Amino acid sequence: MKSRSYNIAVVPGDGTGPEVVQEGIKVLNAVSKKLDFTLSFTHFPLGGEHYQKTGELLSETTLAALKQSDAIYLGAIGHPDITPGILEKGILLTMRFALDQYINLRPIKLYEGVETPIKDKGPQDIDFVIVRENTEGLYTGAGGYLKKGTPDEVAVQESINTRKGVERCIRYAFEYCRQRNKAKKLTLCGKTNVLTYAFDLWKRTFEEVSREYPDITTDYAHVDAICMWMVKNPEWFDVIVTDNMFGDIISDLAAMIQGGMGIAAGGNIHPEGVSMFEPIGGSAPKYTGMGVINPIAAILAGQLMLQTLGETQAAQWIEKAVAKVLKNDLKSASAGKMGCSTSEVGDLIVAFIDSL
């Protein structure tokens, strides 16, 4: 009898999203079959095209349905003909806020066989995790215009940081760092020398919570210094915790040093609620339908989803298969240079899982 079963809401989205999600589902099905748990997938057509056709970004009805799922698996949202901000705010950010997915988790790992632009650094040097606050900061939409369109125009965009929001994020990071059990070092990334209110709250909260985690070494660095060290000494990092905007920026820098968007996956997590997992690379409209995109980012998003759902063994097997294929089978992790197609990468990973 199959005891564990999960309802997964699938949002393939725009551009190359559907092609990579298809490979992710292939891998998820392979691993669930081997390890005897059930995944039921329900597709939701959200995205740019759906918006153009129906006017829906993310309706209350769809949100209610998403809330019924165990997790959400997303491909990509983004459309070249739609004004920037509409889909991002209307779908992605609305989902994060409505489901209170207060953690954006971004594992950064350079796998063997993957090229990094950082000279003289290898897999032993690049292995850390960014814990980004995902519901506050500059992303809340607080602010506004005065005298818009006149020479006296004023635009204000406020960073909202609540004690509760900051503390739950920092606590998550400490717990994560403890469970990860690597260097057991948590670095707070801030800007206490300029943003003296927001990051004073962050730093005080960090120091207070740290007293409950005597086994974790703590460190602090300004965001600009983090960018510098990430390129020069990435091996210094184990877990980094930071606010929404800084987390967004350093995540892309980190994605590049792990081999690029073909590898980078992320989770938008509510630890007790419904979380969403996605490759962070975007919809790549010019590559749509060509079968050249690396689906590994989407596959690793699936891996992160299973990890979060508690299917640890399945998550380990996916990671093992990904590591093997990156090391032995792909010429490169970059789009169009892999030496095989999007679906062939999925097939290679499935074949390895089947052999376990």
Q: What are the residues binding ligand IPM (CB under 6 A)?
A: 88, 92-93, 248, 251, 280
Tell me which of Mn ion, ligand IPM, none is bound by residue 112, counting a contact when its beta carbon lies within the kind-specific cut-off of 5 to 8 angstroms: none
The SS3 assignment for 154 reads strand
Is 248 a residue that touches Mn ion (CB under 5 A)?
yes
Nearer to Mn ion, 14 or 248 (CB): 248
Could you tell me the smallest distance in angstroms from the CB atom of residue 178 to ligand IPM? 26
Please name which of 325, 135, 157, 122 lies closest in space to residue 235, comparing C-alpha atoms.
Answer: 122
The one segment of 31-39, 75-83, 145-153, 240-248 that binds Mn ion by CB under 5 A: 240-248
Beta carbon nearer to ligand IPM, 103 or 280: 280
* d(C-alpha 333, C-alpha 261), whole Å: 9
278 lines the binding site for Mn ion (CB under 5 A): no
At closest approach, how far in Å is the CB of 93 from ligand IPM? Answer: 6
State the CB neighbour count (10 A cutoff) for residue 310.
11
Closest contact distance (angstroms) between CB of 139 and ligand IPM is 7
Q: Roughly how many angstroms between the first and final C-alpha of the chain, as a whole number?
A: 22
Q: How far is the CB of 173 from ligand IPM (least distance, A)?
A: 17
Residue placing its CB nearer to ligand IPM in the complex, 32 or 303? 303
Handedness of CA 22, 265, 215, 201 (dihedral sign): negative
Give the 3-state secondary structure of residue 186.
strand
Give 230 or 280: the residue with its C-beta nearer to ligand IPM. Answer: 280
Q: At what angle do helices 296-309 and 17-35 cross, to 10 degrees?
A: 40
> Quick one: which segment of 57-65, 180-188, 247-255, 340-348 binds Mn ion (CB under 5 A)?
247-255
CB of 207 or CB of 252, closer to ligand IPM: 252
Query: Could you tell me the smallest distance in angstroms from the CB atom of residue 92 to ligand IPM?
Result: 5
With a CB cutoff of 8 Å and minimum separation 6, the contacts of 122 are 110, 116
| Contacts (Cβ under 8 Å, ≥6 apart) of 335 | 261, 262, 284, 287, 292, 293, 294
Least Å from the CB of residue 14 to ligand IPM: 12
Q: E strands, the chain, where?
A: 5-13, 38-43, 71-76, 103-109, 127-133, 143-146, 154-157, 185-190, 217-222, 239-242, 265-269, 275-279
Burial of 279 (0-12, 13-18, 19+ CB in 10 A): buried
- CB nearer Mn ion, residue 50 or residue 96: 96
Q: Which does 348 bind (CB under 5 to 8 A by kind): ligand IPM, Mn ion, none?
A: none
Cα torsion 59, 297, 315, 339: sign: positive
Residues 6+ away with beta carbon under 8 Å from 337: 331
Instruction: Show the tokens assigned to 127.
Output: 């292995």
Residue 299 interacting entry, from ligand IPM, Mn ion, none, C-beta within 5 to 8 Å by type:
none
| Nearer of residues 99 and 264 to Mn ion, judged by Cβ | 264
Which of Mn ion, ligand IPM, none interacts with 58 (beta carbon under 5 to 8 A by kind)? none
Instruction: Choose among ligand IPM, Mn ion, none what residue 88 binds, the Cβ cut-off being 5 to 8 Å by kind.
Output: ligand IPM
Written as one string, the DSSP assignment of 10-75 is EEEESTTHHHHHHHHHHHHHHHHHHHT-EEEEEE---SHHHHHHH--SS-HHHHHHHHTSSEEEEE
How far is the C-alpha of 328 from the C-alpha of 115, rounded, in Å? Answer: 13
Looking at beta carbons only, is 122 or 143 nearer to ligand IPM? 143
For Mn ion, the closer of residues 183 and 245 by Cβ is 245
**Residue 69 near which of Mn ion, ligand IPM, none (CB within 5-8 Å, type-dependent):** none
Q: How far is the CB of 314 from ligand IPM (least distance, A)?
A: 25
CB of 328 to Mn ion, least distance (A): 31
Cβ 266 to ligand IPM shortest distance, Å: 6
Binding site for Mn ion (CB under 5 A): 248
